[in-house]
Structure 1
Amino acid sequence: MSSTTLQWLSLVGTIWLQAIIGTNTNFPAYSSQLKQLLSISQVQLNNLAFASDAGKLFGWFSGLASIYLPLWLVLLIGSTLGLIGYGVQYLFITNQISSLSYWHVFLLTFLAGNSICWINTVCYVVTIRNFLSDRQAAVGITTSYQGLSAKIYANIVDAVSPEKHARAFLFLNSLLPVIVGLIAAPLVREFDATSPKHTRDGFAVMFVITIFTGIYAVLSSLQFVTSKASSLGIMTGILVSLLLPLLVPLSVKMKEIQENREKLRVYHFTMEENNSAERVENEVKEGEVQEEVGIIEEVGVKLMLRRINFWLYFFVYFFGATVGLVYLNNLGQIAESRGCSNTSSLVSLSSSFGFFGRLMPSLMYYFYWGKCRISRPASLLAVMVPTSGAFFLLLNKTDLALYVSTAVIGVCTGAITSIAVSTTTELFGTKHFSVNHNVVVANIPIGSFIFGYSAALVYHKEGHGHDEQVQCMGMECYRNTFIIWGSLCFVGILLALILHARTRKFYSQKQ
């Protein structure tokens, strides 16, 4: 099998991994049940959500491991950590283990959260290095599938075990990444070729498949559709859509076979002429890639931490995507407090729109490159504005406001996550990316603790009860929290504006 086909297969393997590693995104779907099973307060439940994000504080370990260890081994380490973290919790809530304290569960959740970093690092490294000249498109497509994780898990649970959400989710969280990791391990590796053949056609087909998958995910999340279609039918459709990307490496292989047959029918001198032209074309492509990479300065983590642009970028992410992720982590309790009973549908909706949010920046970048180009900081600025507005819209008590705001926050949070990968490579280079980006996303657990803990305290205070397990009902449970989060997003808008102004000259040189 040619290296070109294997490169496209590596992209497919990365898509499968990204689709199942967002185990922390389905936490809101079973958080209320977990709260009851463990008999814990809202503050303690928030600590578990924080623990999952806190695993990212040590994500740089996976970055170092990817430098010194084979990528398949890094992948299996991440899968094993998740198996232990979620698996032991599953055994605990099914009464097969009875000696775990709350802090044991906290540490296990922390371990499970760290496992995602290991698998994510492998996905980023493989995607960026195998598709260096088209890394924005490749990263956008693959990371968009992580936005589907919550929906995939929710649909499987609804089809198999609709009455025992917490147990079923923990069981799937522990096993699915291991199974898919074993399947994808032979595929996700680096190849020597700089740019595979048929990239334009290949990515065009990938975008069509990805958009189709996203539309199906959104439609199957709507209540009037789910009421008519069976959970098993929806789950089957999602699984089939995950197999569709295999059409790209298959078509590339067929094109190569066809090209080889055509070459056998031409004269020797024609073959030599075509080969020479192809070599010249490849040299031009490689020169373009080297030119693009040459513009980017390679910055190590120590130097990066001393730069103002890093801290501006860090806090833009902190007041944007991180606040959005904290909202999504608390979505179960927010929906419950507002009297919205269909939490699973709301989580699936946020997951589906997050899918499109991750995909949109790459789609626009790939097809409009050279026509309408804006810098990454400007892109961050553009998606921060609706994020801030969505939090203030949540002050409206209607279910429509809840659904619209959740969709907007899902889209914008996903977009920032996708844009950030390319922003890190452009501002600080690709050589140290695996460590640098894990340092950037370390803001997620920090924000998860600060924003989530404050929200939990407000929730407990508004519940007007002295019981640790007090349940708060009504708009006042999160009203002040939404105002604070919306204001923080506005601060992020100002910081993004400053970062855009400081990097304008840098991006103008790239055009």
Structure 2
Amino acid sequence: MSSSFLHWLSLVGTIWLQAINGPNSDFPIYSSQLKDVKHISQIQLNFLAFASDFGKLFGWLSGVAANHLPLWLVAVIGAVFSLSGYIVQYLFLENSKLECWHLFILTFLAGNGICWINTVCYLICIGNFSSDSRVAVGISTSYQGLSAKVYNVIANGVFTKTKPKAKSYLLLNAIVPMIVTIFVTPFLRVRKATKERTNSAFLFMFVITLVTGMCAVFMSIRGFSSKKRMIILGVLLVSLLLIPVGIILREIMRKILRDKKENWIHDLRIEDVESVIETKEEREDEVVVPISIPVSVQFVEQRESEEVGAMKMLKKGDFWLYFMSYMFSGTLGLVFLNNLGQIAESRGLSETSTLVSLSSSFGFFGRIISSFLDYFFIK
């Protein structure tokens, strides 16, 4: 099977994984219900919101595991962590023996599971797209911003008779990552990297993602039935398969044309074949001047394949610049999103899920635009 087809199929698989790899992002929707069921204070609720992010501090464990285990197994382990963390909360949420510190540990475990799936997605995008690794990673991770929207749409589409409650979201947070991970496991492979730039495929993917972002925002603002939202979002996610399918069809057409050309050459007359052979011999007698590769290009290629260890990484200024910028900027967004449910209630809004869904949609739309600009800056 074509390597390009498998590369793009793996990218679609990582996008599907990232679309459901933010089960903690729907926490604001059911946080108030959780607070009432467990009779906990606002401070304790804030600690539970922090628990998932605290679990990500140990995300480096997934990187160590990826050096020794197959990537598909690393993804399954992450899904198992999410399943374990949320299914226990779902089963024993109304049990008085399940205290706040139990919820903290379980949410911590589920939050760490997110890192395992993230690591797999990053390694696949970087390994399969050496020339466009930044763009591939950017597109894949953008879909994680859509997770809250995805879980909200599924919850309202599945639990149509009753309004989704805390247990409904906990159940979805537990089983959806495991189902999707098992489904895309055959695609989670790093294959021989190609440096060929498939500009048309990336542009077509950008079109699909931008349409997805606009539809997500529009569906959050305008009233659509739950089933229509689930169908539209499902079609947009599945439509990503058009890219690998289009690539395999294009290669099939190229093969057909090449076979026709070979048959045409086979049917040439004897004197035509002799003239072709003479021309080939003349070209072989020509002197071939070797082309030297500039040192700068060799250095760039060497840097692309350079493996940076943990201690070497800690000595690099780029790492600490990224660490500090994320610590003092990205975390502010997490604080806002984790408390979005309480903010909505303080403003007198009854439908917290609508605000969370809208925030998720705009977050995805903003991320994908930055990847779109990054793609053209690379060119």
Class of the TM-score when normalised by the shorter of the 2 chains: 0.7 to 0.9
2:215: which partner in 1? 216
1:243: which partner in 2? 238
Cα shift at 1:361: 2.0
Cα shift at 1:61: 0.5
Give the distance between the partners of 1:351 and 1:239, measured in 2 at CA: 16
Partner SS, residue 319 of structure 1: helix
1:264 maps to a residue whose letter is D
Show CA shifts across 1:66-89 (max 9, x none): 111000110111111111100000
Q: Among all aligned residue pairs of Structure 1 and Structure 2, give the percentage whose two residues are the same amino acid.
A: 54
Give the distance between the partners of 1:195 and 1:245, measured in 2 at CA: 22
1:53: which partner in 2? 53
Select between 353-362 and 113-122 the one with higher mean Cα deviation. Answer: 353-362
Partner SS, residue 68 of structure 1: coil
* Cα gap change, 1:290 to 1:136, in 2 (>3 Å): farther
Cα shift at 1:103: 1.2
How much is the aligned-residue C-alpha RMSD, in angstroms? 2.3
Partner SS, residue 16 of structure 1: helix
2:287: which partner in 1? none
* Cα gap change, 1:144 to 1:266, in 2 (>3 Å): same
Choose between structure 1 and 2 for higher RCO, CA contacts under 8 A separated by at least 6 residues: 2
1:245 maps to a residue whose letter is L
Cα shift at 1:340: 2.5
Q: 1:221, 1:345 within 8 Å by CA — same for their partners in 2?
A: yes
Q: 1:49, 1:329 within 8 Å by CA — same for their partners in 2?
A: yes
1:78: which partner in 2? 78
Cα shift at 1:364: 0.8
Q: 2:140 aligns with which of 142, 164, 168?
A: 142
Q: 1:7, 1:191 within 8 Å by CA — same for their partners in 2?
A: yes
Q: 2:362 aligns with which of 312, 333, 353?
A: 353
Which runs of no fewer than 5 residues in structure 2 stay unpaired?
A: 266-272, 281-290
1:323 maps to a residue whose letter is L
Show CA shifts across 1:269-328 (max 9, x none): 99xx9xxxxxxxxx99xx999654434665322233234443333221111111111111
Q: 2:251 aligns with which of 252, 256, 262?
A: 256
2:108: which partner in 1? 110
Partner SS, residue 191 of structure 1: coil
1:5: which partner in 2? 5
Q: 1:300 aligns with which of 299, 309, 315?
A: 309
Select between 181-190 and 342-351 the one with higher mean Cα deviation. Answer: 342-351
Give the distance between the partners of 2:135 and 2:236, measured in 1 at CA: 19
Q: 1:133, 1:289 within 8 Å by CA — same for their partners in 2?
A: no
1:33: which partner in 2? 33
Say yes or no: does 1:318 pair with 2:327. Answer: yes
* Cα gap change, 1:64 to 1:83, in 2 (>3 Å): same
2:255 maps to a residue whose letter is N
Aligned residues: 350
Q: How do 1:162-311 and structure 2 match up within 5 A? A: 163-195=163-195, 199-222=198-221, 225-226=222-223, 229-267=224-262, 292-295=300-303, 298-311=307-320
* Structure ID, larger Rg: 2
2:270: which partner in 1? none
2:372: which partner in 1? 363
Give the distance between the partners of 1:6 and 1:191, measured in 2 at CA: 8
Show CA shifts across 1:157-193 (max 9, x none): 1233352321110000000000000001110110013
2:98: which partner in 1? 100
Partner SS, residue 145 of structure 1: helix
Show CA shifts across 1:439-483 (max 9, x none): xxxxxxxxxxxxxxxxxxxxxxxxxxxxxxxxxxxxxxxxxxxxx
Partner SS, residue 34 of structure 1: helix
* Cα gap change, 1:239 to 1:290, in 2 (>3 Å): farther
TM-score normalised over the length of structure 2: 0.87
Say yes or no: does 1:340 pair with 2:375. Answer: no
Q: 2:21, 2:177 within 8 Å by CA — same for their partners in 1?
A: yes
* Cα gap change, 1:317 to 1:253, in 2 (>3 Å): same
Give the distance between the partners of 2:352 and 2:22, measured in 1 at CA: 18
2:340: which partner in 1? 331
Q: 1:26, 1:150 within 8 Å by CA — same for their partners in 2?
A: yes
* Cα gap change, 1:11 to 1:334, in 2 (>3 Å): same
Show CA shifts across 1:241-273 (max 9, x none): 110000000000000100000001114599xx9
Cα shift at 1:349: 1.1
Q: How do 1:476-491 and structure 2 match up within 5 A? A: none
Q: 2:129, 2:193 within 8 Å by CA — same for their partners in 1?
A: no
